Structures are given as C-alpha cells and as structure tokens.
Amino acid sequence: MVTKEEIFEAVSTVIDPEVGFNLVEMGLIYDAESNEEGNAIVTMTLSTRACPLHQMIVQWVKEAVEKVEAISSCEVNLVWEPEWNITMANDNVKKALGG
Amino acid sequence: MFAISQDFAPPFKLIAPFFVIGVLFYVVTVVFGLALDAETMSYLDSAVLGWVHLFLLGFVMMVIFGAMAQLVPVVLEVGHFGVEFFYVIWPLLLVGTVMMAGGFIAAPALLPYGGTIVLISMMIFVLDIFLTLKKVEKFNFVMTTVVIANSFLFMGVIVGIILALGYAGQIDVDITALLNGHVYLVVGGYIMITIMGLSMILLPMFGLSHGFSWKPVERALVVMSISVILVVFSSFTGLTSIAYLGYVLSIVSLFVYLYQIVTLYKTRARKEHDIYAISLYFSFGSLVVSLLMGSLYLLNGSEQLLLSAGWLIFTGFVGFLITGHLYKIVPFLVWFERFSPLVGKEKVPMLADMVPTKSANAQFIFTVIGVTLSALGLLSASDALFKGGISFMSIGSLFLLQSLMYMIRFR
C-alpha cells in the first residue's frame, strides 16, 4: 500500500504555472490515501474557484499519482471547504509571495 | 465535481486578434493625441469625440470583448451560446470604429454607417452573452454585473446610433442632452460595471485575496446603476437636477468600489511588485485623482477639470487596468495553448517567464510620465505640456506593442 507521504511526493511534481510553486508547497493538497488494490484518492482544493486551469490541474495530479508504481488509478476529490488561504502554504511560499 | 470551464474555452486564435488589434488601436489613439490642442479643447470637439471613440471602441471594447470571450465560461461555468460569433465581432468592430473615427474627424456622413456596423458587432456580442446567460441556473454577483452591464450597453449603443444620425444631420435631436445619456450608459453602465464585476474575479485570483466582504462592491453596483438611470432619464427629460444627482452618485459609487479594492489589497497573499501590481497601483491612483477632480468640477464647472479627469479615467485608470491585465491574461492564453500539453513531458516555462520585464517596465515608466504630463497639460490648458505627455505615451505604447508580440510569439 502506498503511503500518504509517497502520494504527496508524487503530487509535489505538479507546479502551478501562475505562482511557480508545487501544489503541496502551496497547501492545496488536503489529504491522500490508497488501498491495497492500488486505488488512490487525493483530496485537494484550488486557490480560487475561478481558476481557469482547474480541470487541467486536477488531471496533472491524477497523472502524477498514477505514475507511482503501486498505484493503478487515482481519483481527485476537489473540495472548497476548508477554503484555502495563504496560511496553509509552507514558509518558503509565504516568504516568496510576500515580496 | 463541478462545471469545467476550460471545456468551453475558446481557442487562442479566436481571442488573439482582439488583443493585437486592441493594442494597435491603443498605439494609433495615443499618437492621434498629437492632433488635439489642449489650449482650445472642448469635450464636444469632433476631434475629441473621434479620439474618445478610437480609444473606447478600438482599444477598451476590443480588449474587453476578447477578455470576455475567455472569461465568460470561467465566470458563468457554462459554454458560450455561440463562440464562433467572436470571429465576426472583431472585424465588424474594427471596420465600424475606423469609419466612426473617420466620421468624427473628416466626413460626418460616415458616422451612421460606422455606427451601424459597431451596433451590429455589439448586438452580436450582447446576443451571445444573453443566450449564454440563459444556461446559467444560479446567479452570483459577477453574473449580475454581466446582465446589467450588457443591458446598459444595448441601450447605450441605440442612443449612440440616434446621436450618429443627428451628428450626420439626418435627424434633428438635442446632441448635447443625449450625449450625457450615451456616455453614462456606455462608460458608467457598461465599462465601469464590467470592471466592477471582473475585478472581483481577477484581482482575488491574481492576488490570492481571501476572506474579504463583497458588500462594498454590491453597493457600488446598485449606486452606479441608479446613477446611470438618473442621467439617462435627465437626458430625455431635460431635468438637470436629476442629472446632477446622477453625477454625484456615480462618484460615490466609484469611491465605494475603491474601498472594495482596498479590502482586496489588504487581504491579498501575493505582495510582489511586478508589472501587473504596479500597473494596478497607477490605475487605481488615477481613479482616485480623477474622482477628486470630478468632484471639484461639479462644484466649479471648470471644463479643464472635466477634461483632465476624463483623460485620467480613460488613459490612467482604464488604460493601466487593461495593460496590467494583458501581462497576466496573454501569457496564460499562450501558455494554455502552447505549453499545457507538454506538462509532465518536458520542462515548461512559468507564466512569469513569458513577460518581457524590460519592455514592460519601459512601457510602464513612459506611459506613467506621459499620462501625468498630459493630464497636467489639460488641467493647465498648456498644449506644450500635453504634447510632451503624448510623446512619452507614444513611446510607451510602442513598448506595449513590443511586449504583447513577445508574449504571443513566446516559444
């Protein structure tokens, strides 16, 4: 079974081209789990509901996780609660965005 | 899961002409400013009316229509009723605008024909928007602004055609009275309300603002709508006190809108001072100054104040709001078209890598100096100062064109 950390590591290869940080650093990935059959579920949000890239980002996450050897499929659960805010990002992101 | 906006996103080749032609009109309009005389200028001069129509139709409306082609599916979460309409909107708007400018500057007989072509272009746009809105199940604030703004646009264009016929001498109308209604319907009713709506999508999206109240902008929308209705009512009835109340309310509305912008600014996570951010600082700063000048104009009636305030609203506030957003929207569209299919297969650029920093900064500096000098030139009725400002703006406009072409050609 693939751990949450391994799934997060896979998702960390997905970068938001607007801000230039990966989704895990941004704090957009809320949870991840997988079962013994290799089915993974990633629970995530986006920085704005109006994000014109949202379908594409979801697809990138799915593809990144499905590249993990023991994963056969990945479902992305996009949620809006809790609403994302900058306090969820890591210090590196906060410092860079803070100008 | 929810509606997926990019399923309905129009191709870049459909949107690109709006931005390229819009910026070309910007260059032409700015240079055409050299033909205006700040010492004798009046807002009813045919050259001024020609300049205003080139700027608003050729640059502002062209870019807004292009942006709406992309943003309507994002905002409404449904596809356009007929995205193919946009292939005919820009050629019609282009031809109609050139004919209208020619009508104001040289041959008034062209005005009704140019006006009719612009009318057809805008009616197609409004038709697409309203038929697209029919698919929307639940309205939010931004959708409401789209409905109200496009209703005002519809009425404003009709009044504009009546004015064009009157200006060409084909019908007898009170041009001065109707002009106020036309200006308020199109500038206050369409452009300002569209800006209010789009601000609430774009500014929080690019600034990563969260946890702000929407109340100020909701109130600004109501007050601006009442203001437009009052001014239009007065332009048909001749009740000047009603018009005056409308003018005051429009200034109040924009101050309330500015308060909303302050709340977005305070709650933003991104605090970089990139070309987008500094363009917006100058844009909103220009709005503050022009509103103060507009308030003074209502007290003392000085036409120099009115001209200078109008100049700052158009070239400072609207101009920089649009150019600032071009540095965000164009890279996104090019990236989406050219690089998004390569994600995960090869290294792709970030959106910020696609902005030509030096050229963009040069555009900003030259245009800021130019707008400031030309506004002061209008305020003091100094043609030398005004023309000096236009010269700076002309160089800035060429840097804008260069930046745009760099972003579009980025590989």
Q: B148 pairs with which residues across the strands? A: none
Confidence of residue A96 (pLDDT cuts 50, 70, 90): confident
Residues B180, B156: contact at Cβ < 8 Å?
no
**Quick one: which of B33, B61, B58 has its CA closest to B47?**
B33
| Token pair recorded at residue B356 | 């030509």
Question: Which residues in chain B are closer than 8 Å to A21, comparing Cβ atoms?
Answer: none
**What is the arithmetic mean of pLDDT over B358-381?**
98
DSSP reduced 3-state for A3: coil
**What is the arithmetic mean of pLDDT over A88-99?**
85
Of A70-74, B285-289, B341-345, least confident by mean pLDDT is: B341-345
Beta-carbon separation of A53 and B70 below 8 A: no
Measure B97 CA to nearest chain A CA, in Å.
Answer: 31
User: Which phi and psi (to 5°) does residue B158 adopt?
Assistant: -65, -45
Residues B329, B15: contact at Cβ < 8 Å?
no
The pLDDT score that the predictor gives to residue B3 is: 39
Beta-carbon separation of B332 and A97 below 8 A: no
Statement: residue B8 has pLDDT above 70: no
Residues B39, B380: contact at Cβ < 8 Å?
no
Residue among B9, B339, B352 minimizing CB distance to A20: B352
Where do we find the tokens 């008034």? B108
Beta-carbon separation of B332 and A98 below 8 A: no
Q: What percentage of chain B carries pLDDT values higher than 90?
A: 75
The pLDDT score that the predictor gives to residue B7 is: 56
Residue among B74, B271, B349 minimizing CB distance to A97: B271
Measure B154 CA to nearest chain A CA, in Å.
Answer: 27
Confidence of residue B4 (pLDDT cuts 50, 70, 90): very low
The pLDDT score that the predictor gives to residue B6 is: 52
pLDDT tens track for B318-337: 999 999 999 999 999 999 88
Beta-carbon separation of A98 and B4 below 8 A: no
User: Which phi and psi (to 5°) does residue A22 adopt?
Assistant: -80, 160
Closest residue, chain A, to B349 (C-alpha): A17
Q: Is the complex ipTM more than 0.95?
A: no
The DSSP H or E segment spanning A42 is strand A39-44
Measure A9 CA to nearest chain B CA, in Å.
Answer: 15
Beta-carbon separation of B270 and A97 below 8 A: yes
Q: Model-level pTM? A: 0.92
The pLDDT score that the predictor gives to residue B337 is: 87
The pLDDT score that the predictor gives to residue B2 is: 39
Where do we find the tokens 């031809």? B95
| Token pair recorded at residue B257 | 């809108």
Question: Which residues in chain A are closer than 8 Å to B7, comparing Cβ atoms?
Answer: 55
Q: Domains of chain B: which residue ranges?
A: 1-138, 149-271, 274-333+349-411
Q: How far apart are CA B198 and CA B185, in angstroms?
A: 18
Residues B384, B377: contact at Cβ < 8 Å?
yes
**What is the arithmetic mean of pLDDT over B344-373?**
94
List, in order of start, the domains of chain A with CATH numbers: 4-85 (3.30.300.130)
Question: Which residues in chain B are closer than 8 Å to A48, comparing Cβ atoms?
Answer: 204-205, 208
Q: A74 pairs with which residues across the strands? A: A40
**Quick one: which of B134, B1, B157 has its CA closest to B72?**
B134
**What integer best gives the mean pLDDT of chain B?**
92
Beta-carbon separation of A52 and B5 below 8 A: yes
Confidence of residue A1 (pLDDT cuts 50, 70, 90): confident
**Quick one: which of B71, B51, B57 has its CA closest to B146?**
B71
Statement: residue A98 has pLDDT above 90: no
Confidence of residue A50 (pLDDT cuts 50, 70, 90): confident
Residues with Cβ within 8 Å of residue A77, at least 6 apart in sequence: A41, A42, A43, A44
Statement: residue B120 has pLDDT above 60: yes
**What is the arithmetic mean of pLDDT over B180-185?**
94
pLDDT higher for B336 or A98? B336
Name the interface residues of B facing A (CB cutoff 8 Å): 1-2, 4-7, 9, 70, 74-75, 201, 204-206, 208, 210-211, 269-273, 332, 335-336, 339-340, 343-344, 348-352
Q: How far apart are CA A51 and CA B205, in angstroms?
A: 7
pLDDT tens track for A14-47: 998 888 899 999 999 999 999 999 999 999 999 8
Beta-carbon separation of B272 and A97 below 8 A: yes
Q: Does the N-terminal peptide bond of residue A82 adopt cis geometry, omega within 30 degrees of 0?
A: yes
Q: Which of B5, B200, B201, B278 to mutate to test the interface with A (most CBs of A within 10 A)?
A: B5
Q: How far apart are CA B217 and CA B230, in angstroms?
A: 20
What's the sign of the alpha-carbon dihedral B368, B370, B371, B376? positive
Measure A41 CA to nearest chain B CA, in Å.
Answer: 14
